[in-house]
Amino acid sequence: MKHLAACVATTTTVTIATLLAFAASAAHAQSSVTLYGVADASVRYLKGANAGNDGVLSLTNGAISQSRWGLVGSEDLGHGLSAIFRLESGFSLPNGASSVSGVLFNRYAYVGLASATYGTLTFGQQQNAVYQNLTEGWDPLTVGNYLQNEWLPIAFSGFLRGENNTAFYTWRRGRLAIRGAYGLGNQAGDFSANSMRSVSVTIDPEPLGAEIGYVDAHDLSNRAQTSYNVQLRYRAYPAEAWLGYYHSRDETGRVNAFLTGTAAPNVVNPRWDNAYVAGLSWFLAPDFKLTNAFYFDQSRKTPPGASTTDSGHRYALVALAEYLLSKRTTLYATVDYNRVSGAADDEMPNRKYQTGVSVGLRNRF
């Protein structure tokens, strides 16, 4: 009996120790995975949709943040350190197709480590530092509008490369955030070709904030698009305002290709752009918000084979009204006007202007 009692006591002690170890391990390695997304669609009338200046009525992806779905997760590793990941895919709500053909997670696909003390380091498919700031509120439209209106932040933030194979670091203290990104080119014998470097510094608006950024992106031929921007942002409920400047010098031809909707040429002459953005957002009521955005670009480019430099202008005016049906669902309407002149006239199908009117519905989950 004494021997049996001793065995039972020993077994009980081992079991309790095992359970305590398991509980401690479970508490130490808490993890979470969240499914999220946005479904955004609108009915849009666009005047000046082709060279004949015709109008088109269509069901389009939304005008606030586009449609997407994703998974984000983290695991507590202890000592203030966490393992994190994010997988996100953009899609077209009218037909269900992926935003990028043949690419499942075309917006984000990364894994990394996050520390409250030392910052966050991630690796994979992700944005450069400047473009990431724009998606987090440093652009009046958060680069989520129609291509006719979001041309400035996309073209002049150095985003055109498509930031695959990227290491991204963020360090934050209070209102101050420093971000840096390096896109590996994956080209044997040439570390610069197809690579990207960017850095940004932001001070969160309380109520006034500021952001500066720099991007240097190279194509496969090692030609570069270099850009920098400076921006102010004011936020004090019920108002928010933006004022910013971008400078871009492009030797890749991708800025002109994006703005004209054509393929980048093999032989490229440099293009320079000085672009400006201004915006104002105002809650007229707790559930009704009006946003106005203005984009302007002055461009200079040397046509292939020419010895002179041509200049042009392009601007956009956008008004967006949002009615919050709930915390997750928004009914909205938008009106926008884009115009080009001079050497920028090839950036519109009718070489003059486009006018759009849209109504839409967005649900976040």
Q: What is the DSSP string of 102-127?
A: T-SS-SEEEEEEEETTTEEEEEEE--
Mean pLDDT of 200-211: 98
So where are the chain's domains? 32-364
Query: Cα torsion for 342, 348, 351, 352, to the nearest 10°?
Result: -80
31 DSSP β-pair partners: 75
pLDDT digits (tens, 9 = 90+) for 256-305: 999 998 887 777 788 999 999 999 999 999 999 999 999 999 999 877 66
Distance CA 51, CA 300 (A): 24
Give the angle subtended at the CA of 152 by the CAs of 151 and 157, to the nearest 5°.
Answer: 110
Say if pTM beats, i.e. exceeds, 0.85: yes
Distance CA 127, CA 288 (A): 31
pLDDT digits (tens, 9 = 90+) for 207-228: 999 999 999 999 999 999 999 9
Give every CB contact of residue 228 below 8 A, 6+ residues apart in sequence.
212, 213, 214, 215, 246, 247
Place of tokens 């990104």: 181
DSSP summary character for residue 140: T
Decide if 93 contacts 67 (C-beta within 8 A). Answer: yes
* Residue 307, pLDDT score: 65
Is the predicted pLDDT of residue 29 greater than 80, yes or no? no
Is the predicted pLDDT of residue 64 greater than 70, yes or no? yes
The pLDDT confidence band at residue 5, using thresholds 50, 70 and 90, is very low
Decide if 13 contacts 311 (C-beta within 8 A). Answer: no
Alpha-carbon dihedral sign for residues 9, 13, 14, 16: positive
Token pair, residue 175, equals: 């209102």
Distance CA 161, CA 184 (A): 12
Distance CA 5, CA 354 (A): 89
The pLDDT confidence band at residue 14, using thresholds 50, 70 and 90, is very low
Mean pLDDT of 329-351: 96
pLDDT digits (tens, 9 = 90+) for 162-180: 678 999 999 999 999 999 9
* Exposure letters 169-208 (e unless 16+ CB within 10 A, then b): bbeeeeeebebbbbbebeeeeeeebbbbbbbbbbbbbeee
At residue 356, what is the residue type?
G
Decide if 255 contacts 274 (C-beta within 8 A). Answer: no
CATH 1.10.565.10, applies to 32-364: no
Place of tokens 């759009």: 356
* Residue 302, pLDDT score: 79
φ/ψ (deg, to 5) at 156: -110, 15
